[in-house]
Amino acid sequence: MVGRICGTGAYAPPVFASNEDLENVVDTSDTWIRERTGIARRHIAVEDTAVTMAVKAARQALANGKIDPEAVELILVSTISPERVLPCTACEVQKQLGAVQAVCFDLNAACAGFLYAYNTAQAYIRSGMYKTVLVIGTEQLSKLVDWTDRNTCILFGDGAGAVVLTGEENGRYNMTAHSDGRKGEALTCRTDGKIKMDGREVFRFAVKSVPECIRELLEREQLLAEDIDYFVLHQANRRIVEAVTKRLNVPLERFPMNLEEYGNTSSASIPILLHEMKQKGILKPGMKLVFAGFGAGLSWGASLTEW
Ligand code: UT7
């Protein structure tokens, strides 16, 4: 059994902050932010929360996959910015969707969170325990950002993305995943505090570890980088994506990006991007996709999916 993605959804709150808006908040400039990150604006949840955004993305994914909420057996939510610690976000989403049969829990692997939740869903499907799984990445990072810290506040945004997986006999899937708690101090946030980051260290880690784990994945599957139709990377920084393309020697066109519009939405970034790719009609049956995530922990990994 392999989980095949049958539906996708995404939601970003209507209010956004442009780089020019941030020029009024910290000592920065549109030029600096664009050149160093590729980001032009980020959406900010004013009325929404991690729960409401997750519900909106999930409803779209279920409708789009023609899956009845009552058919969902497992809901996995990846988030570092829940509205409440208890109950878990997944249970709150379940209530609002009416997915009464589902088992629900949250997981936190920071910006690699969607990838880890996706792998967890695949493991359950592969074991035969569940056949229909909803995986959501949702983040209200604006509440974890220190709006006086120009090193971090320009990077992050709010939003949610969701996919529905159904177990099928045919299809391709494999994964690599890694964690290194020894380097955890590079990117931290206390439960009562704000995000703190050594940007240069995270940057160095990302440009080294992402190509390495993608190569590891390709070797496991005996594939070459040119066999992959699209690399769907966590959207943290345009320069990180460009560095990965160079190290893998793959043209940039095969690395779709949307961080100009959303900034870094942590565990929501991969499913939001995937949903946009689906809406644009660029995903065709049989295409091979590599998802790759990286972030605090440190945690990183890559997964191969057949569309
Ligand atoms: O999901 C994973 C989460 N994190 C990441 O992916 C972040 C990875 N790291 C990065 O994306 C980059 O390191 C940043 C975009 C955060 C920073 O870019 P950088 O090229 O590594 O800049 P830097 O930290 O080396 O700083 C260069 C200069 C410094 O000034 P001095 O010391 O050279 O005078 C900073 O103080 O740029 C300054 N600076 C800024 N200037 C204007 C830092 N932030 C800003 C800012 N506007 N917003």
Question: Whose C-alpha lies nearest to ligand 1, atom 13?
Answer: 199
Q: pLDDT band for 301, please (50, 70, 90 cuts).
A: very high
Spot the catalytic one: 64, 108, 264, 275.
264
* pLDDT value at residue 140: 98
Select which of 88, 111, 189, 213 is catalytic.
111
What is the pLDDT confidence band of residue 41, given thresholds at 50, 70 and 90? very high
Of these residues, 43, 88, 119, 234, which one is catalytic? 234
Locate the ligand 1 atom nearest the alpha carbon of residue 202 and give its number: 8
Q: What digits encode the pLDDT tens for the residues 151-170?
A: 999 999 999 999 999 999 99
* Ligand 1 centroid distance, CA of 244 (Å): 19
The 10s digit of each residue's pLDDT in 203-248 is 999 999 999 999 999 999 999 999 999 999 999 999 999 999 999 9
pLDDT > 90 in the chain, percent:
100
295 lines ligand 1 (CB under 6 A): yes
Tell me how far the alpha carbon of residue 232 lies from the centroid of ligand 1, in angstroms. Answer: 24
**Residue 139: exposed, middle, or buried by beta-carbon count in 10 A (0-12, 13-18, 19+)?**
buried
Q: Whose CA is nearest to atom 12 of ligand 1?
A: 199
Which pLDDT score is estimated for 185?
98
- Ligand 1 pocket test, candidate residues 147, 151, 189, most atoms within 8 A of CB: 151
The arithmetic mean of pLDDT across residues 4-9, rounded, is: 98
Which pLDDT score is estimated for 181? 98
Adjacent-strand bridge partners of 295: 299
Active site residue 258: no
How far is the centre of ligand 1, averaged over its atoms, from the C-alpha of 257 (Å)?
A: 20
CA of 120 to the centre of ligand 1 (A): 33
Per-residue buried b or exposed e for 96-129, using 16+ beta carbons within 10 Å of the residue's own CB:
ebebeebbbebbbbbbbbbbbbbbbbbebbeeee
Q: Is the CB of 150 under 6 A from ligand 1?
A: yes
Does ligand 1 come within 6 angstroms of the Cβ of 101?
Answer: no
Give long-range contacts, CB 8 A cutoff, 24+ apart: 245-251.
247/207, 247/211, 248/211, 248/214, 248/215, 249/225, 250/225, 250/226
CA 144 to centroid of ligand 1, rounded, Å: 18
Three-state DSSP class for residue 87: coil
Does residue 275 have an active-site annotation?
Answer: no
| AA identity, residue 203 | F
Active site residue 234: yes
Give me the mean pLDDT over the 96-105 stretch. Answer: 98
By three-state DSSP, how is residue 14 classified? coil
Q: Using CA atoms, how far apart are residues 144 and 194, in angstroms rounded to an integer?
A: 5
C-alpha distances (whole Å) from 190 to each of 110, 111, 185 are 13, 16, 11
Residue among 200, 234, 235, 244 to mutate when testing ligand 1 (max atoms within 8 A of CB): 200
Question: What pLDDT does residue 285 have?
Answer: 96
User: What number does the ligand 1 atom closest to the CA of 239 have?
Assistant: 11
Identify whether the C-beta of residue 306 lies closer than 8 Å to the C-beta of residue 168: no
* Residue 299 Cβ contacting ligand 1 at under 6 Å: no
Q: What percent of the chain has pLDDT over 70?
A: 100
Question: In angstroms, what is the span from residue 295 Cα to ligand 1's centroid?
Answer: 16
**Residue 38: burial class (beta carbons within 10 Å; 0-12, 13-18, 19+):** buried
pLDDT of the residue at 23: 97
What's the predicted TM-score (pTM) here? 0.97
Block residue for tokens 């493991």: 123
Helix (H) or strand (E) holding 203: helix 199-220
Residue 283: pLDDT band with limits 50, 70, 90: very high
**CA distances to 84, 112, 174, 224, 246 from 185, in Å:** 24, 16, 30, 34, 28
Ramachandran quadrant class, 125 (left: phi over 0; alpha: psi -120 to 50; beta: rest): alpha
User: What is the pLDDT averaged over residues 20-26?
Assistant: 97
